[in-house]
């Protein structure tokens, strides 16, 4: 199993510090947040980790360079999460851990792998329940039991089939890359990972796993503050 950590976004919600320091490199304790995510991928069983970065985020490369299980790829244009993941194509089952989504309180990726093994190695999407007024910030699932039957990227509360949101972690078969290659732009004109997974559902079963930890979006000052607070209070 491989892991891909997209960390190419510009960090506009955290300017001006992100002119120099990528948001993923902000410290949680003495480690950059991104290192906690790399640790999560390793302990979930990933034997190679691909970090997707962009020009201006070389600090990430400098920090992790020389670690034998890590390689770097560049996303040269900001064409969306699906496009970022495609730059890192691997020919194996893949864990995708969003570089700005820190999960504290559990090892979400590891739990998802264990869940998948109990369900015939199916795809698993890490989820959290969100207030209905916030569904438009997330990919939202339609489920039957745990099984995902449909997904929609950033719906309005009226369109949303549930309050179960994609929360920064995915375990997908290598087949996802085929779907990403033919994926047309969706919400915001971007190549959406959600849309490619949605097409994949017809051929590959996928399950929603609501992990017990808390996801913090460290891409903005408030989320980062919450992550620090959670880290020092109980993790």
- Of 6 and 32, CB closest to ligand G1P: 6
- Of 116 and 194, CB closest to ligand G1P: 194
C-alpha distances in angstroms, 21 versus 61, 62, 66, 178, 219? 12, 12, 20, 34, 12
Judged by CB under 6 A, does residue 138 bind ligand G1P? yes
3-state secondary structure 62-85: HHHCCCCCEEEEECCCCCCHHHHH
Q: Which residue of 52, 81, 97, 230 would you call a contact of ligand G1P, by CB under 6 A? A: 81
Using DSSP bridges, classify how beta strands 139-144 and 147-153 pair: parallel, antiparallel or unpaired.
antiparallel
Contact between residue 101 and residue 166 where contact means Cβ atoms under 8 Å apart: no
147-176 binders of ligand G1P (CB under 6 A): 153, 165-168
- Of 132 and 232, CB closest to ligand G1P: 132
Q: Which residue of 11, 22, 139, 186 would you call a contact of ligand G1P, by CB under 6 A? A: 139
Q: How far is the CB of 188 from ligand G1P (least distance, A)?
A: 8
Distance in angstroms (rounded) separating the CA atoms of residues 123 and 105: 23
96-125 binders of ligand G1P (CB under 6 A): 98, 101
C-alpha distances in angstroms, 69 versus 3, 171, 230, 231? 10, 19, 29, 26
Distance in angstroms (rounded) separating the CA atoms of residues 85 and 193: 8
Q: How far is the CB of 65 from ligand G1P (least distance, A)?
A: 26
Judged by CB under 6 A, does residue 93 bind ligand G1P? no
Q: Which residue of 75, 116, 143, 194 would you call a contact of ligand G1P, by CB under 6 A? A: 194
Distance in angstroms (rounded) separating the CA atoms of residues 204 and 220: 35
Q: How many residues bind ligand G1P (CB under 6 A)?
A: 12
Q: Which residue is nearest to ligand G1P (CB)?
A: 139
Lookup result for tokens 């600090």: 59
- Of 40 and 153, CB closest to ligand G1P: 153
Residues interacting with ligand G1P, by CB under 6 A? 81, 98, 101, 138-139, 153, 165-168, 192, 194
């Amino acid at each position: 199993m491989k892991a891909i950590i997209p960390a190419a976004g510009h960090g506009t919600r955290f300017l001006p510090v992100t002119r120099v320091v990528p948001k993923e490199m902000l410290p949680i304790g003495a480690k950059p947040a991104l290192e906690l995510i790399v640790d999560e991928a390793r302990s979930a069983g990933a034997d190679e980790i691909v970090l997707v970065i962009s020009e201006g985020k070389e600090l990430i490369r400098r920090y992790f360079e020389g670690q034998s299980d890590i390689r770097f790829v560049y996303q040269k244009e900001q064409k969306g999460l699906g496009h970022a993941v495609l730059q890192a194509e691997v020919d194996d089952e893949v864990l995708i851990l969003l570089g700005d989504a820190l999960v504290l309180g559990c090892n979400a990726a590891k739990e998802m792998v264990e869940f998948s093994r109990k369900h015939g190695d199916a795809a698993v999407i890490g989820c959290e329940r969100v207030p209905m007024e916030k569904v438009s910030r997330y990919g939202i699932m339609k489920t039957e039991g745990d099984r995902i039957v449909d997904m929609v990227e950033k719906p309005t509360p009226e369109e949303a089939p549930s309050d179960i949101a994609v929360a920064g972690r995915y375990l997908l078969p290598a087949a996802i890359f085929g779907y990403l290659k033919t994926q047309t732009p969706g919400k915001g004109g971007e190549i959406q990972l959600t849309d490619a997974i949605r097409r994949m559902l017809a051929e590959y079963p996928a399950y929603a796993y609501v992990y017990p930890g808390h996801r913090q979006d460290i891409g903005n000052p408030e989320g980062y503050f919450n992550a620090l607070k959670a880290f020092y209070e109980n993790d």
